[in-house]
Structure 1
Amino acid sequence: MSLKINMKTLKFLTGLLFAVSAANAQTNLITNIGDRKTLSLNGAWQYIVDPYETGFYDYRYKELNEKNGDAYWNTDVPENKTAKKEHGYIDKYTLQVPGDWNHQDPKFEYYEGTVWYKKSFDYKKANAADRVFLYFGAVNYKSDVYLNGKKLGAHKGGFTPFNFEVPEGLLKEAGNFLVVKVDNKRYADEVPTLNTDWWNYGGITRDVKLVEVPKTFIQDFVIQLTKPVNGQAPSKQPGVSGWVKLSDAPAAGEIVTVSIPELKFKKQFTAVGAQVPVQFKLPKVRLWSTENPKLYNVIVSTSTDKTQDKIGFRTIEAAGKQVLLNGKPIFMRGISIHGEIANEIRRAYSHEDALQLLNQARELGCNMVRLAHYPHDEKMTRMADSLGILVWSEIPVYWTIDFGNKEVLAKAKVQLNEMITRDHNRASVVIWSVGNETPISPTRTDFMHNLITEAKRLDQTRMISAALEVNYSALKSSNVVDDPLGEFVDLVAFNEYLGWYGGLPDKCRTTNWSTIYNKPLFISETGAGAKGGFHADSLTRFSEEFQEWYYKEQISMLKRMPDNFVGISPWVLTDFRSPKRNNPLYQEGWNRKGLYDDKGNKKKAFYILQSYYNEIKNKQTSVSK
């Protein structure tokens, strides 16, 4: 009997197997990397640009095997002068890691394809019995990882972390040869899909580290306040629940200890399996809030391992028409942010980058940021923890991905899992978002509902939402948000650009908003484009005066919002790069909706929104007194 499989079927089966294997691989994700014993592999990496993927496929377009000397993951040093080597890594061609390749050399500005990265390093284990993992903060988009000619694994997803264990005996004390094939090409069946409104920065964009851990180690843990009931504020001795995940089944009688020295708290739990439930009361704890972002050093230890993290304790929930932080209503004075440093035209990745972006938001008067449209670097969420800024974190399920494709759903779930796993101890993160501006259809709603269900399975302590969109062609004086997805989210959030994409800003004077759902209502985007420094009358598109007028009319409209209106995150903090924006005078490859321009200058609209936020803050302060 012969079996015939066409190319379309083969592609589907291959992709499905990849999605399943990737989903399984992420059960091994190690968290709290900053507290582990690590060796940074950041810095200069040699590279080869390979648009035809010659280093991966032979001339019949079949994947090269590990023994093939022409494969770019194998050594580039010929055995002798007669040996043929048609690839090589030299210092003439280097890229900095972390960092996108687009900003590092003009030839990469629009490049989408394969680049091979190579790093040589020495490494001696601190303990011969320890295990070693290779950890990546993020690589955009698909990565294949090889160490000393051996493939460790592959990963898809440009904004979430992953790691692979290094097999015993593969590491050498000197001359290790690490190669990563990075491919940032866009495809219709990926997450995100072909069409986005941001720059497709390629490369190893976040930290790379070797992580050394004991044979049985603390892989992950969750220590959070128990989910509130019916809007109740935390008691004086709030309950804490969570778990500690060990890498392997523990030895009989293994004890897991959780301690918080500042509170003189210590409690032990007997490990029966690899995942150990923890539950206790926490006396005299100071709750984390936007005004007082208190963090405690939480230590988790076993007989073989110990890790610690800075954690804030707070509750967050959507209760009726309000969002409650520690049982009290809060209005989210937000701004949307892209993970980009506009003045250097590159991906954000460092502590300094996080501080720059979040300080700009704070100067605007924000107590919240929407990190769009993908998980940002972990340094952003940790910095938000320390500064007291609420965070909306989102996976790039964006516009028109293939909602009917089970393989795509599996890929989205992997990214959702990786986002939540990395940041589930961050007090600042209060909303997990499963997507942005997805077109309404039964297939799409099923897809998104599936992601919401998965998010709630992974984390029951935070709100789940998605940025919905409205139809401007049908706008009337009274507009109702009735997207069927609203039934499943905790926070009904929608993007509206009334006055930019629908009429002129004065349309706001006769427009009101509501929703059919008895839930908090949040405007996840609104904004207008303006070229920084271009001044004209308020009717002239792309002038700072038009954007200023837009915000004035929006704010007047916002003051008429119903009593379930709980916040807004306008679009966007800073101008950002986008190949979709091609007006030769005003855009030139930039989305100009920023309140800061690409040089870091404030536009006139900045001060309009800042004044509105200060007004809200002052009213809330007077009420609390």
Structure 2
Amino acid sequence: MTTEVAAGQQVRPEYPRPDWQRTDWCNLNGSWAFRFDPQDEGREASWQQESENAYNRAITVPFSWASPLSGIGEDTKGIGWYRRSVDWQPDDRKSRIFLRFGAVDYACEAWVNGRSVGTHEGGYGTFEFEVTEAWRAEGGNTIVVRAQDEDHDYQARGKQGYGEIRGIWQPVWLEARPQTYVQAAKFNTAIDGKVELKARIAAHEAGTSTFTCHFDGGKVTHTVELALAAGLNEIETSFIIPSPQLWSPESPFLYEGELRLGSPSGEDVVQTYFGIREIGTAKFGDRGYRWITLNGKPIYLNGTLDQSYHATGYFTYPTDEEMRDEIYLMKRLGLNFVRIHIKPEEPRKLYWADKLGILVMEDMPCFWGNPDETARSAYEREALEVIERDWNHPSIFSWVMFNETWGLKTNSLGGGLTGDQLQATSYLPNTQEWVREVYRWAKRIDPTRIVEDNSPCNWDHVETDLNTWHFYINGYEQLRNHMEEVVAKTVPGSDFNYIGGNVQSDAPLMNSECGNVWGIEGGAGDSDLAWHYRYMMNEFRRHDKLCGFVFTEFRDVTNEFNGYYRLDGTDKMFGYESFVPGMTLSDLHTPDFVAIDAPPCQTICAGETATVSLLRSSFSDRYHGRTLQLRWELWHDSLGTRTTAGSGVLDVAWDGYGVAPLTELQLTMPNQDAVAVLALLLVDAEGTIVTRNFTTFDVRGGASLAFGTENGHFLAVPPAQFGQHSFAHQWQAINGAKTTGAGAGSFVYDIALPSQEEQSWIGELEIMFEAGSNRTLARHIEGAKLVHHGISMMHGANAQVETNPNTYYMTDEERHESRIHVLVDGERIGSFLLPDDPSDSRGVLSWHYQAAANRLDEAGSYGYLCRAVIPGRLSAKLDRNRAFKLELQAENGGLSLYGRNAGRYPIDLLIRCR
């Protein structure tokens, strides 16, 4: 992730609006003179007339003055003044000149050469001022901008607690247009190829003009003659594209081109694009509920919540490449949609969503005060700006008007919603009616998209196109029961998930936030999410009603570490490929999916038979009417050797949308202790893998069946049964099944070998154990601390991750090595480099034996199988003595030892005698 703008590199040099672009423009990003105005004296003192010397700071636009990339880096609310000298002139000196702002938070006034050219309020909308009359043709122009951000309760702010967007925070530029120009245009498309165009034209004088649509390299051309009146003109026209190429995440075809307006004052050319697609909802078959549709067909929405936060630019991307890469990284996971959370996205990122193909659910930013008339009018003004600005993006399929009732609760104590004052708030009936009005207003102005009234966590819909809900629940049984309840209560006419006497329609059921970040006492801290994620995906795909989900979240943020990626964009390792070769997260997001109706792991006796039910979940017609192959294998790792316990191939009919039973598998477990894995592949006739999935079993064989007597005599020593240790800090975890020492030190065990009566002679001795390094956290040294999660956590308060009792860092690109040595009676017989202290889905037993679903005790942690053979010269001695001291010694990186009920392998410290 970019942390700074390279020296000499132009700041955000690309045109900010590829959806509405002219060629004659001047980029104003870069260095501006700057000064704070804490006493609000600038206007009275005419700072707009002051020379650059009166400005005592330099700021890099377009970054919030609170962010590091601005060069200021001060989270100071209030007033900031910007000044810049500009020598640019348009190519045609008769052009009209506009000063354009992507966004300024919150109140803005601009001057050109000391002359006020306009004001604007609202932190997220784009706006412009015509500066033609103030612009000096001879050059030497000065632009001054005053921005004021006071964090008023009525301001639409969203989750700026992660990093405040203060002042100018999106690009600024100058643009030239002819005297008569196209001010705006909206495309409405239909999958039969009809394109309707509504445009607004600003005419300098009355007259005849020619308006031409030219797209797809000239394959699409449409021209109309217009009789324009002086001033603003609204026009409508339409045309048909035969055999249209439809836009979808799989095939994001854009009709790129331009609009040309020819008039006596010159030709205005705007480069733009549109995508042909239809968003809707529909019933299929005899279902009494609707599914979400794209281009007339059901689509299952695999989505993520995107906070769009960056450590250095805050809510402003350092480069265009990063915006493009954000969309790429989502698609790499197999996701097909993203919920942009409580903020409208930058237009260039929306362009990359259009270009690369990912659907967007775009939230309106919330205010945090009472929903009084001031807040309502400010909100409505900004919401209109957002919808008008982003209309033409085919990727946007849904507007979310409010989130989790934020800004909708009236605080009887007065002031903003903070701390314990939340207890004194209520979602009043008149506010509910305002929300209904906002929903209906949005539907009137944009009937082409799905609109949601409120994305709720308090069961409080009023009227909506989507029946969504939020949950943060950890634990398989808890999640399964919750899903069953929600699905059962989702029926037309039910008042479930609605408030104020309102009831459900047949609107599609969809989850709009989920994850385990807040489903754990004290929050999940920074922990593995791979285990939880897989069984959650299986539970979702079991339910025919459910149209998709939004996982929290795309990247980690400052107080939530539940992202697919780290905040800096580095990978987390989910470990699925260790269960099914080639499996990645994307296998859990395929439109054709095999759902496993079983827990993520279940305990079973060795040699017993388990029945596993499989479901077909299809939200694509690609394979309908065809026969696919289901290949399955039951395998386990037997002390480092991959062993197959059973396998098979089934032909399965794949036909029809939705969820239906597929088959049942009868699985005979191995006759020994094992973590057994049922691996599934769904394969088409050409041998292409459609999807992969797996589940696991903790197979318990008992003492006599542990690893088979044919493999020798095994002694098992629980790691916690050491005789002494020399670590500065040492502890047990996972019900005592895991033992850890921090830093340098050793564990010493007194080992008693079989007597001569039990085993007449010992020819070979081998030591086996599972071990990992240790990444020592603050809670290991200082003690764990539970933090109360009030509303401050939603504003980005510090989660104190290293003192959180649930924290155990998920495996990622960062490595924490440790070198350990194995000593027998003081003599070193082996050394191992432990590459990391990992925690992910591979730590099956560490997950399976968690004591409580809502608390994590080093969940998912595991180690590496280590094997050391005792040399013959020592074996002879041990054959006589039948006892020895085993020392496991760590240099600096610590040592974690995993027992039978922890880690990846179902073993304690093992000594095999043969």
Report TM bin, short chain.
0.7 to 0.9
Task: Summarize the alignment of residues 538-553 of structure 1 with structure 2, pairs less than 5 Å apart.
Answer: 542=524, 544-545=526-527, 547-553=529-535
Residue pair 1:574, 1:597 contacting (<8 A) in 2 also: yes
Query: Given the superposition, is the C-alpha separation of residues 517 and 342 from structure 1 closer, same or farther in structure 2, using an over 3 Å criterion?
Result: farther
How far did residue 333 of structure 1 move? Answer: 0.9
User: Aligned partners of 1:420, 1:247: CA distance in 2, in Å?
Assistant: 21
1:214 to 150, 164, 178: 178
Name 2:194's counterpart in structure 1: 239
Residue pair 1:508, 1:554 contacting (<8 A) in 2 also: yes
How far did residue 292 of structure 1 move? Answer: 0.9
User: Aligned partners of 2:104, 2:272: CA distance in 1, in Å?
Assistant: 25
1:404 to 358, 362, 372: 372
Task: Summarize the alignment of residues 495-574 of structure 1 with structure 2, pairs less than 5 Å apart.
Answer: 495-499=470-474, 506-512=477-483, 513-514=486-487, 515=490, 516-529=504-517, 542=524, 544-545=526-527, 547-561=529-543, 563-574=544-555
1:53 to 33, 40, 58: 40
User: Aligned partners of 2:525, 2:534: CA distance in 1, in Å?
Assistant: 15
How far did residue 123 of structure 1 move? Answer: 2.6
Task: Summarize the alignment of residues 138-177 of structure 1 with structure 2, pairs less than 5 Å apart.
Answer: 138-177=103-142
The structure whose RCO (Cα within 8 Å, separation 6+) is larger is: 1
Name 1:94's counterpart in structure 2: 58
How far did residue 283 of structure 1 move? Answer: 1.0
Residue pair 2:537, 2:588 contacting (<8 A) in 1 also: no
How far did residue 308 of structure 1 move? Answer: 2.5
Are positions 1:266 and 2:221 aligned together? yes
Are positions 1:319 and 2:282 aligned together? yes
1:202-259 CA distances to partner (integer Å, 9 max, x unpaired)?
A: 2311111111101110111122214xxxxxxx33xx2221212101376344332223
Name 1:282's counterpart in structure 2: 241
Are positions 1:186 and 2:151 aligned together? yes
How far did residue 614 of structure 1 move? Answer: 3.5
Residue type of the alignment partner of 1:303? G
1:520-543 CA distances to partner (integer Å, 9 max, x unpaired)?
A: 12211122339xxxxxxx999535
Name 1:420's counterpart in structure 2: 387
Query: Given the superposition, is the C-alpha separation of residues 96 and 617 from structure 1 closer, same or farther in structure 2, using an over 3 Å criterion?
Result: farther
Residue pair 1:506, 1:553 contacting (<8 A) in 2 also: no
1:91-123 CA distances to partner (integer Å, 9 max, x unpaired)?
A: xx2111121222147863432222211111113
Of 217-226 and 121-130, deviating more is 121-130
1:160-190 CA distances to partner (integer Å, 9 max, x unpaired)?
A: 2110111424435322121111223211122
User: Aligned partners of 1:356, 1:425: CA distance in 2, in Å?
Assistant: 22
Residue pair 1:244, 1:277 contacting (<8 A) in 2 also: yes
Residue type of the alignment partner of 1:335? T
Of 375-384 and 267-276, deviating more is 267-276
Residue type of the alignment partner of 1:624? R
How far did residue 272 of structure 1 move? Answer: 4.9
Q: Which 5+ residue runs of structure 1 have no aligned equivalent? A: 1-29, 57-63, 65-69, 78-86, 227-233, 472-480, 531-537, 578-589
Name 1:613's counterpart in structure 2: 588
Point out the structure with the larger helix share.
Answer: 1
Residue type of the alignment partner of 1:319? A
2:21 to 34, 40, 54: 34
Residue pair 1:361, 1:573 contacting (<8 A) in 2 also: yes
How far did residue 159 of structure 1 move? Answer: 2.1
Name 1:580's counterpart in structure 2: none
Q: Which 5+ residue runs of structure 2 have no aligned equivalent? A: 1-16, 284-289, 409-426, 491-503, 577-582, 594-616, 624-914
Of 93-102 and 453-462, deviating more is 453-462
Aligned residues: 525
How far did residue 261 of structure 1 move? Answer: 4.8
User: Aligned partners of 2:221, 2:378: CA distance in 1, in Å?
Assistant: 40
Are positions 1:599 and 2:581 aligned together? no
User: Aligned partners of 2:23, 2:428: CA distance in 1, in Å?
Assistant: 45
User: Aligned partners of 1:606, 1:342: CA distance in 2, in Å?
Assistant: 27
Residue type of the alignment partner of 1:371? I
Query: Given the superposition, is the C-alpha separation of residues 280 and 178 from structure 1 closer, same or farther in structure 2, using an over 3 Å criterion?
Result: same
Task: Summarize the alignment of residues 465-484 of structure 1 with structure 2, pairs less than 5 Å apart.
Answer: 465-471=452-458, 483-484=460-461
Residue type of the alignment partner of 1:379? R
User: Aligned partners of 1:389, 1:375: CA distance in 2, in Å?
Assistant: 16
Query: Given the superposition, is the C-alpha separation of residues 285 and 105 from structure 1 closer, same or farther in structure 2, using an over 3 Å criterion?
Result: closer
Residue pair 1:184, 1:200 contacting (<8 A) in 2 also: no
Name 1:441's counterpart in structure 2: 428
Of 512-521 and 205-214, deviating more is 512-521
How far did residue 326 of structure 1 move? Answer: 1.0
1:306 to 256, 269, 289: 269
2:49 to 66, 74, 87: 74
User: Aligned partners of 2:470, 2:160: CA distance in 1, in Å?
Assistant: 16
User: Aligned partners of 1:73, 1:492: CA distance in 2, in Å?
Assistant: 51
Identity %, equivalent residues: 25
User: Aligned partners of 2:510, 2:584: CA distance in 1, in Å?
Assistant: 16
Residue type of the alignment partner of 1:34? Q
SS for the counterpart of 1:507 is helix
User: Aligned partners of 2:270, 2:71: CA distance in 1, in Å?
Assistant: 43
How far did residue 620 of structure 1 move? Answer: 4.7
Residue pair 1:242, 1:278 contacting (<8 A) in 2 also: yes
User: Aligned partners of 2:509, 2:30: CA distance in 1, in Å?
Assistant: 45
SS for the counterpart of 1:119 is strand
User: Aligned partners of 2:94, 2:363: CA distance in 1, in Å?
Assistant: 39
TM normalised by structure 1 equals 0.77
How far did residue 435 of structure 1 move? Answer: 1.8
Are positions 1:383 and 2:383 aligned together? no
Query: Given the superposition, is the C-alpha separation of residues 147 and 539 from structure 1 closer, same or farther in structure 2, using an over 3 Å criterion?
Result: closer
SS for the counterpart of 2:262 is coil
Residue type of the alignment partner of 1:596? Y
How far did residue 327 of structure 1 move? Answer: 0.9
How far did residue 459 of structure 1 move? Answer: 2.0
Query: Given the superposition, is the C-alpha separation of residues 167 and 345 from structure 1 closer, same or farther in structure 2, using an over 3 Å criterion?
Result: closer
Query: Given the superposition, is the C-alpha separation of residues 248 and 32 from structure 1 closer, same or farther in structure 2, using an over 3 Å criterion?
Result: farther
Are positions 1:492 and 2:458 aligned together? no
Residue type of the alignment partner of 2:275? G
Larger radius of gyration: 2
Residue type of the alignment partner of 1:205? W
Residue pair 1:404, 1:447 contacting (<8 A) in 2 also: no
Name 1:13's counterpart in structure 2: none
User: Aligned partners of 2:440, 2:514: CA distance in 1, in Å?
Assistant: 28
Of 38-47 and 333-342, deviating more is 333-342
User: Aligned partners of 1:526, 1:419: CA distance in 2, in Å?
Assistant: 26
Name 1:135's counterpart in structure 2: 100
Residue type of the alignment partner of 2:106? Y
User: Aligned partners of 2:575, 2:122: CA distance in 1, in Å?
Assistant: 34
How far did residue 557 of structure 1 move? Answer: 3.5
Residue pair 1:45, 1:94 contacting (<8 A) in 2 also: yes
**Please, what is the CA RMSD of the aligned residues?**
2.9
2:252 to 264, 277, 293: 293
Residue type of the alignment partner of 2:467? V
SS for the counterpart of 2:401 is strand
